[in-house]
Structure 1
Amino acid sequence: MRGSVSYENRISYSMITKKLNEWYTAIKDNLDEKAERLKKEVEGLIGGIDGNLEFIYYHQLLDFRHELMLSHLKSKDGEEINNAYETLKEHEGHLNGMLDYYYFFFKGMYDFKRKDLVAAISAYRRAEKSLEFVEDEIERAEFYYKMAEVYYYMKQTYYSIDYIERAITIYNKYETYLDKIIYCNYIIAGNLIDLLEYEKAMFKFNEALKIAKQIKRDNLVAISHLNIGICFNVGGMFEKAKKNLIIALKFFEKEYHPYLIKTLFNLSHVMCKANELEKGEFYYEKGFELALNTDNSEYIAKFNLLRGLYLNQDCFDLIDAAFEFLESNEMYGDVDEFAFEVGEVLLKRGEVARSSKYYQKVVMAKKQIQKGEMINETQIDNLLISHTHGGGVFSNN
């Protein structure tokens, strides 16, 4: 009979739904080995489903999210992620309910990874329009965290704090999400640094370190030391900064962790600021080589800025090329911080006229940051042209 569903199919659909949801949970928890196993199990089951577009779309969405996880954990080549995104892009405007939410939520993560912050926040805010379909409050907390993260990078401090407080309120209800609370503390502390509340920020970083040691998560212990080192660097306490960054480096080098390049940059930065230029050069060479080998445009630009300012002093072509990259990618938070530093260093060297050029960049960056609310509702609505071909609501339950 047309439209009827057999008992066997109901069991099969239920089994696939269960496996898809287990896979997504493993992905969110960054359990890469478990996620890989569940991915293979899902692929073995999904082939037996004929014509059910909801399952097909959900599978494609999770495959995309899986690649994003691997990219974060293992510094994987972005080609597979890009291919997965191109497959998904064909469905934009043709999904409803939870599938619509997942599409724009995952698109925001993808755009954030590419450092396209405006596109990321646009996608997240578009996903927020479908958040009503999300019944699982842990999924809501995940969404709030990602919103807080991108607002933090855009220097929209109070928006970031608002969303991170929503996330941590949910995570605090559960004893099994201490790792998520650690990440929330990182975002809170980062915002406190932007508010010049260094002592409060350090308290949050140390709280995160304590929890990481308590749950025996070595990677989070290392990330906590990295963040503590960055906080000490911003506060001008270079010896303490170096101590913590070196602890982080030892772990990240052993694991070839995605944060290795960030740690090398910050060590080179600290050494240069402390006028230990030989050591700064050492970490610069290691970090710059890694940036080139991984085609990391962001850190190629940032390492060049260090070389132009400290290691090959007054090499303004390198400095200006770095700012050109940051500005073209609308990374105005970085422009604000680095332009102020360049201006201060040049002023101390007696380059008064030249320093004013970089102070002007600070003013420009702050104006652009204040325009962070420019992503209006019309721009967000334009991300989705039509819902007329949607496949209905796909339940997580």
Structure 2
Amino acid sequence: MNKVASEVIANLLNEFHIAIKKNDADLATELFERCKLSFDNMEEDQNVLVYFSLLEERYRMMMYDTKGEELPKNKKYKKEQMDHIRKTNDMIDYYFHFYEAMYESYKKNYERAISLFKIAEKQLSKIPDEIEVAEFYSKVASMYMSIHQSVVSLGYINEAIGIYKRHDDYKRRLVSSLVVLATNYMHIGRFDDAERQLFKAIDIARELNDEFFEAMQFHNMSIVYSAANRSQDCLNALKRAIREESWRKSEYHIRSIYMLAKEYFKIGQKDTAIYYSKKGMEVLKEKENKIYEAKINIIYNLYTARDTSKSIDKCRNNIRYLENRNDLDGAYELSLIISRYYEKERDYKEALEFAHKAIDIEHRMKNLEGS
């Protein structure tokens, strides 16, 4: 049997790439399977295999973003593969550093991610596709958003939004960028601006007729409402998200359950909050997520303990766990919640301890740099 020219397979990979960039999960899955089958009859070309391996990692992350599917547990690249990739052409070299940076960012290894993004940015001028440039800007902005470096994040995300607005075929990417913009506004206290951006995101999701994507935007809106102390609006948005069956079946469902428990505790509806806490633990038995297990344990022990002595060690241990897993944003938010609750209970020493913890975490986030 004659071997298929590698250029033919590379063209198929380009179609796969475009489907990923458009967040078209169904088409991307179809092309992914076609690409895998094609390699059996392809003439040997290591660069095409490298390109595919990079695209496969991006595909897995796209499926996590759009469908809530689980991320790979381990990194794909061995040292010898990495050495080869660095010797390939400029574009593959850019893609390699960019995709590796994305992976490290998803894994919350932020210093490593920053370093890799900086390397990729130096090579960005070699990328002729402005959509690919927008993708870079949006991913870097999302990473800086996660560590509350809002000024840096806003600079990148506004560049991305400017590009996506010129391309009607990339509305999903525009929505994702609007969410990053809104989250940055939330972090700096511009809650009305954040809400406006998310209403735009919801409108586009409805225009796309994607119920899962729409549910995701309502969940995002709930986070802004919670931060703005608009608890009833927060709860309404969460209930709208979990009404969607595909959302309930996804890896994201636990986030909404956690938010419901947290918000009901916050407004003093303890019985309902306990119900959602226990529901969350049931969900975690089927879909393990240690970070959200720690978060639910914190709020449950904080609000249900009869006195501070019965909750403080559990809160300390779970905050420490979040820090060790580099979930600095979560550790920061929950340290503030713990501090405010203890202050309300007149446990001022403990309140001060967690206030200092929140300040320390915020300082660490805002001073993260590439290593």
TM surpasses 0.5: yes
- Per the alignment, residue 33 of structure 1 pairs with 26
1:108 to 101, 106, 112: 101
Which residue in 2 is equivalent to 1:367?
363
Contact kept, 8 Å, 2:212 with 2:247, in 1: the verdict is no
Contact 2:97 2:119 in 1 (8 A): yes
Greater shift in the superposed pair: 283-292 or 260-269: 283-292
Is 1:141–1:170's contact at 8 Å kept on the other side of the alignment? yes
Residue 340 (structure 1) aligns with = 336
**What 5-or-longer segments of structure 2 have no aligned partner?**
none
* 3-state DSSP of counterpart to 1:126: helix
How many residues end up aligned between the 2 structures?
Answer: 366
CA distance in 1, matches of 2:240, 2:24: 24
Work out the CA distance in 2 between the residues paired with 1:234 and 1:255.
23
Superposed displacement of residue 86, structure 1: 4.5
Residues 62-71 or 185-194, more deviating: 62-71
In 2, the alpha carbon distance for the partners of 1:155 and 1:202 equals 18
**Partner of residue 243, structure 2:** 250
- Report the CA distance shift for 1:273/1:86 in structure 2 as closer, same or farther (over 3 A): farther
* Partner of residue 284, structure 1: 277
| TM-aligned CA distance change 1:252 to 1:342, over 3 Å | farther
Check conservation: 1:27, 1:66, Cα contact below 8 A.
Answer: yes
Q: 2:131 aligns with which of 138, 145, 154?
A: 138
Structure 1 residues 85 and 292: CA distance shift in structure 2, 3 A:
farther
1:320 has 2:316 as partner: yes
* Cα separation, partners in 2 of 1:257 and 1:298, compared to 1, 3 Å: same
Give the direction of change, closer, same or farther, for the CA distance of 1:295–1:118 in structure 2 (3 Å limit). farther
1:149 to 136, 142, 146: 142
The answer (yes or no) to whether the contact 2:215–2:247 under 8 Å persists in 1 is: no
Alignment of 1:171-190 (within 5 A): 171-190=164-183
Q: In structure 1, give the amino acid aligned to 2:37.
A: G
1:125 to 102, 107, 118: 118
What is the one-letter code of the residue matched to 2:10? Answer: T
Q: For residue 365 of structure 1, what is the amino acid of its counterpart?
A: I
One-letter code aligned to 2:108? K
Q: Give the C-alpha shift of residue 324 in structure 1.
A: 0.3
Q: CA deviation at 1:33?
A: 2.8
- The 5 Å alignment of 1:193-212 reads 193-212=186-205
Give the counterpart letter for 1:307 in structure 2. Answer: Y
* Whole-angstrom CA distance in 1 between matches of 2:290 and 2:106: 12
Q: Residues 288 and 299 of structure 1 are in contact (CA less than 8 Å); yes or no, is this contact kept in structure 2?
A: no
Distance 2:182 2:67 in 1: 25
Indicate the residue corresponding to 2:161 in structure 1. Answer: 168
Structure 1, gaps ≥5 residues long: 1-7, 380-397
| Residue 358 (structure 1) aligned with residue 351 (structure 2) | no
Q: For each residue in 1:279-334, what CA deviation from the matched residue of structure 2 results, as whole angstroms up to 9, or x when unmatched?
A: 11111112233334333121111111111211335312221112102222333333
**Rounded Cα–Cα distance in structure 2 between residues aligned with 1:252 and 1:270:** 22
Which piece of structure 1 moves more, 125-134 or 142-151? Answer: 125-134
Alignment CA distance shift 1:163-1:60 (3 Å) = same
Cα distance between partner residues in 2 of 1:78 and 1:188: 24
Query: Structure 1 residues 86, 219: CA separation in 2 closer, same or farther (over 3 Å shift)?
Result: farther
TM-score normalised to structure 2 length: 0.91
Question: Structure 1 220/356 Cα, relative in aligned 2: closer, same or farther at 3 Å?
Answer: same
> Per-residue deviation at 1:200?
1.1
Matching of residue 236 in structure 1 with residue 229 in structure 2: yes
- SS in structure 1 opposite 2:76? helix
Cα RMSD for the two superposed structures: 2.3
Contact 2:147 2:365 in 1 (8 A): yes
Distance of 2:56 and 2:204 partners within structure 1: 31
Q: TM-score, normalised by structure 1?
A: 0.85
Q: 1:253 to 1:311 in 2, by over 3 A?
A: farther
Output one character per residue of 1:46-104: Cα deviation in whole Å (capped at 9) or x when no partner.
3333332211211222222223333444444545x626345855646444411111112
Q: 1:252/1:113 Cα in 2 relative to 1: closer, same or farther (>3 Å)?
A: farther
Q: Deviations over 1:100-156 (max 9, x none)?
A: 111122112222222222222222222222222211111111111000000000111
Identical counterparts, % of pairs? 24
Name the CA distance, whole Å, in 2 between partners of 1:32 and 1:134: 24
Name the aligned partner's letter for residue 92 of structure 2: L
User: Which residue number corresponds to residue 74 of structure 2?
Assistant: 82
Q: Which amino acid aligns with 2:347?
A: E
User: Using the alignment, how far apart are the partners of 2:78 and 2:258 within structure 1?
Assistant: 32
Determine helix, strand or coil for the equivalent of 1:82: coil
Per-residue Cα deviation, 1:229-260 (whole angstroms, up to 9, x for no partner): 22111111211111111010111566512321
The letter of the residue matching 2:281 is F
